[in-house]
Amino acid sequence: MSRLPFEFMLALRYLRPKRTFVSAITLISIVGVLLGVAVLIIVIAVMSGFDQQLREKILGFNAHLRIEDSDVPLHDYERLMELVAAHPFVRGVAPYVEGQVMIKTQPEVGSPRYIVPLVRGVDPRFEPRISRLLDSLWAGTNDLRGYSLLVGRQLAANLGLRLGDTVAIYAVRQFEKWDSARKQGEEEAPVADDYTVRGIFEVGFHEFDYAYLVTSLANAQDFFDLHNEAHGLMVALRDPDQAPLAKAELQADLGGRYVIRTWMEENSTILDALVVEKQMMFYLLFFITIVAAFGICSGLITFVVQKTREIGTLKAIGASAGQVMALFLGQSLVVGVLGVTAGLGLGLLAVAYRNDFLSFMRRVTGFDLFPAQIYYFNELPALILPQDLAVICGGSLIICVLAGLIPAWNAGRLKPVEALRHE
């Protein structure tokens, strides 16, 4: 004797594969739930991966807080560093100089190329405390002594630069002096400084790898005629999520003269866009499961019509309306469990082999489905969160059960005499 309730036993019996129209609808419903759950898991995992990887890449190159003077460069940045470093939220502080320069390649063969990237001047003594920049080398060394330069990997590939190559860098101050001399009738052409590529870095974020040069703080100060000044301080916190609170406390300690910006504020546009896109994709893709639920509902309605006499017999021998409803709700539950379980497995499998699939499609079609210059990542990121899986699988299962509510209610309210007279 089976210990299962008879309603569930009958539900399983009626779901046995048969060559009927109802069986085909049931199979289609299971496949619909499977696809809905799998697609939801894949898309939400990718969106969560984008969010996590974006935060990691941003924080690997930029610090959690930036502190700048409201009007001029920081004259006393060393004293300010000591004040900021003493704050309990702060893990590390480093000065920086950042701005645009023009570089000219000096190839042995062919024409030189020009580009206007951003250059960042860093102090190797303090930079490891606030970012992973100097540790993100793809090739070469991070030694910035003398006229040395680190170049982003994408920028190096675009310009054809290799380790040991020399580039000419035109600083802003040189163009300003040239423009001033030209207005006074003097012809003084700007003279470039030659720098050697000592290292090529790759932080994994296309915008940084393509648009940045890194040199010593002293060299960058010369570019912008800053003497012993800095454009600002970068601050690393013990907990990046505490950036707003740390900003408020530091602002109170330092006064209104200084402008403090958090990493969330600097990247708010793209971070907020990811949150909105993830929520919208979640709601829109849930409609796939709802469409599959209509298949479950239509299949059960047809099944109720076919089994009207059997329902009458059950009620005649003492089955209650609730037991008859439980029978059909059990069928929708089984369909939901099968579809959700299969969808969960397919979704996890697809997430695990996502980059292998993209590589295969790139080889077969010659088309890059995930170009780094658009999405800023070299590989498709993904992050599976247990809470996302719980919401997707639990929500899909509830929708499947609710889809059988109307046919189950109709079956439960059938009167035995009318059901037994059914032809």
State the Cα–Cα distance between residues 153 and 411, nearest whole angstrom.
67
State the Cα–Cα distance between residues 156 and 197, nearest whole angstrom.
9
Say if residue 251 is in the same domain as residue 350. Answer: no
- Residue 300 is predicted with a pLDDT of 75
pLDDT at 180 over 80: no
Say if residue 299 is in the same domain as residue 162. Answer: no
- Residue 10 is predicted with a pLDDT of 60
DSSP codes, 238-252: SSGGGHHHHHHHHHH
Q: Which two tokens stand for residue 364?
A: 């077969």
- Residue 375 is predicted with a pLDDT of 63
Residue 95 maps to a domain: yes
DSSP codes, 34-48: HHHHHHHHHHHHHHH
Say if residue 415 is in the same domain as residue 296. Answer: yes
Say if residue 236 is in the same domain as residue 303. Answer: no
Residue 114 maps to a domain: yes
Say if residue 202 is in the same domain as residue 316. Answer: no
Among 196, 222, 255, the domain boundary falls at 255
- Residue 115 is predicted with a pLDDT of 87
Say if residue 228 is in the same domain as residue 277. Answer: no
- Tens-place pLDDT, residues 165-175: 899 888 877 76
Say if residue 103 is in the same domain as residue 250. Answer: yes
Residue 61 maps to a domain: no
Q: What domain range includes position 133?
A: 71-255
Say if residue 81 is in the same domain as residue 193. Answer: yes
Count: domains in the chain: 2
Residue 102 maps to a domain: yes
**Mean pLDDT taken over the chain:** 81
Say if residue 186 is in the same domain as residue 283. Answer: no
Pairing of strands 232-237, 90-100: antiparallel
Say if residue 296 is in the same domain as residue 155. Answer: no
Question: Is the Cβ–Cβ distance between 17 and 23 less than 8 Å?
Answer: yes
Q: Which two tokens stand for residue 218?
A: 């002293």
Residue 37 maps to a domain: yes
Percent of the chain with pLDDT over 90: 12
Among 255, 281, 305, the domain boundary falls at 255
DSSP codes, 96-165: EEEEE-EEEE--SSS---EE--EEEEE-TTTHHHH-SGGG-EEEE-----SSEEEEEHHHHHHHT--TT-
Say if residue 387 is in the same domain as residue 295. Answer: yes
Q: Which two tokens stand for residue 90?
A: 């702060």
Residue 136 maps to a domain: yes
Among 230, 255, 280, the domain boundary falls at 255
- Tens-place pLDDT, residues 83-124: 998 888 899 999 999 988 888 888 877 788 888 888 999 998
- Residue 1 is predicted with a pLDDT of 42
Say if residue 354 is in the same domain as residue 405. Answer: yes
Question: Is the Cβ–Cβ distance between 357 and 363 less than 8 Å?
Answer: no
Question: Is the Cβ–Cβ distance between 373 and 363 less than 8 Å?
Answer: no
Which pTM value belongs to this model?
0.66
What confidence tier does 16 reach under pLDDT thresholds 50, 70, 90?
Answer: low
The residue type at 60: G
